[in-house]
């Protein structure tokens, strides 16, 4: 494995743990993880990159070793945190952004909101979520208020091996050595040998707001940087994107309808991979990312 360094930076009043790989003088590559994940999760992808990069992967607020937010978590904060991160590691520079799932949505939004700050953007199986009708709003707010009243406690496992077991249950393609590596970053071992997940359980609270695709499309329309979407062919997440609309559950059709709203967006696919494609096929993901980044001038 390529050696990883850890550091702690303050972003908008919260301490954030950041994993970095490579020489700080090399071209920078920012990596944003997905929901209930951590920055170290990109280790396998970084290992597969052929060229020298200074890879920078934060634990998003409330995940891993970054500070928790007692009032809960709001999507716009991730966008503001990304801007603060760029201010620390790449002030005044155009950034190369790669995000998985939640992180993919964040980098896409940022590219549309701050187009002058982005050189290239890659979204790994992060193409939004199913749109929701406005009439769902009252029910969503009620569910959110009810959930706030219930105490949320971190999940406790018998040990790190048990965390690895759960990771492999969630993703049968995940090799045991990778599962154990991830378990050591997703959880912390307690004095009695048990293991506690480090991510704030408040991330699992239901959102009170509806997801409006027209707003997302308006943001994507502002993107000027080259965009690469990387879709896992066995991803249930991508397959469900627009299933509510017409019953079509073909992953490429669902993704394609949304990619058509991204100026100049390109699509690459990864076979024999589910939603965690950077764990399942890191070499294949690296093989489509690096040529795209080079063509976009990411190493200039």
Nearest 5°: phi and psi at 120?
A: -155, 150
Tell me, what CATH number does 124's domain have?
3.40.50.1820
Q: Which of 109, 110, 80, 81 is nearest to 95 (CA)?
A: 110
pLDDT tens track for 189-220:
999 999 999 999 999 999 999 999 999 999 99
- Domain range for 284: 4-131+212-295
Higher pLDDT, residue 223 or 247 = 223
pLDDT of residue 243: 52
Indicate whether 168 belongs to any domain.
Answer: no
What pLDDT digit, counting tens, does each position of 248-281 carry? 457 788 899 999 999 999 999 999 999 999 999 9
- Residue 148 in domain: no
pLDDT tens-digit map of 42-78: 999 999 999 999 999 999 999 999 999 998 999 999 9
Give a yes or no: residue 152 inside a domain: no
Q: What is the mean pLDDT of the chain?
A: 94
Instruction: With respect to residue 151, please indicate whether it lies within any of the assigned structural domains.
Output: no
Confidence at residue 245, expressed as pLDDT on a 0 to 100 scale: 47
Residue 276, domain member (yes or no): yes
Q: State percent of the chain over pLDDT 90.
A: 89
What's the pLDDT at 249?
A: 52
Q: Quick check: is 204 in a domain?
A: no
Residue 19: inside a domain: yes
278-296 pLDDT, tens digit per residue, is: 999 999 999 999 999 999 9
Q: Is residue 92 part of a domain?
A: yes
More confident position, 246 or 87? 87
Total count of domains within the chain? 1
Burial 104-127 (b: 16+ CB within 10 A, else e): bbbbbbbbbebeebbbbbbbbbbb
Q: What is the pLDDT of residues 101-118, one digit of tens each?
A: 999 999 999 999 999 999
């Amino acid at each position: 494995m390529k050696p990883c360094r850890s550091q702690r930076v303050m972003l908008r009043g919260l301490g954030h743990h950041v994993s970095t790989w490579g020489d700080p003088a090399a071209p920078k590559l920012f990596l944003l993880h997905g929901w209930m994940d951590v920055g170290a999760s990109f280790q396998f992808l970084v290992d597969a990159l052929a060229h020298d990069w200074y890879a920078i992967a934060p634990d998003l607020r409330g995940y891993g070793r970054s500070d928790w937010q007692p009032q809960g978590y709001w999507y716009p904060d991730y966008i503001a945190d990304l801007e603060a991160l760029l201010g620390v590691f790449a002030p005044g520079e155009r950034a190369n952004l790669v995000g998985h799932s939640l992180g993919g949505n964040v980098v896409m939004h940022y590219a549309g909101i701050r187009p002058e700050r982005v050189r290239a953007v890659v979204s790994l199986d992060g193409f939004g979520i199913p749109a929701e009708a406005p009439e769902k709003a009252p029910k969503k707010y009620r569910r959110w208020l009810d959930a706030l009243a219930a105490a949320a406690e971190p999940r406790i496992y018998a040990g790190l091996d048990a965390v690895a077991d759960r990771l492999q249950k969630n993703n049968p393609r995940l090799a045991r050595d990778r599962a154990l590596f991830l378990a050591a970053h997703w959880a912390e071992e307690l004095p009695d040998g048990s293991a506690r997940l480090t991510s704030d359980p408040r991330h699992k609270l239901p959102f009170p707001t509806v997801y409006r695709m027209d707003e997302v499309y308006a943001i994507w329309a502002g993107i000027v940087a080259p965009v690469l979407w990387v879709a896992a062919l066995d991803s249930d997440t991508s397959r469900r994107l627009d299933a509510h609309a017409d019953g079509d559950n073909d992953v490429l059709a669902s993704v394609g309808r949304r990619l058509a709203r991204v100026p100049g967006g390109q699509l690459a696919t990864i076979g024999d991979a589910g939603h965690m494609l950077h764990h399942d096929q890191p070499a294949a993901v690296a093989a489509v990312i690096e040529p795209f980044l080079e063509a976009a001038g990411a190493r200039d």
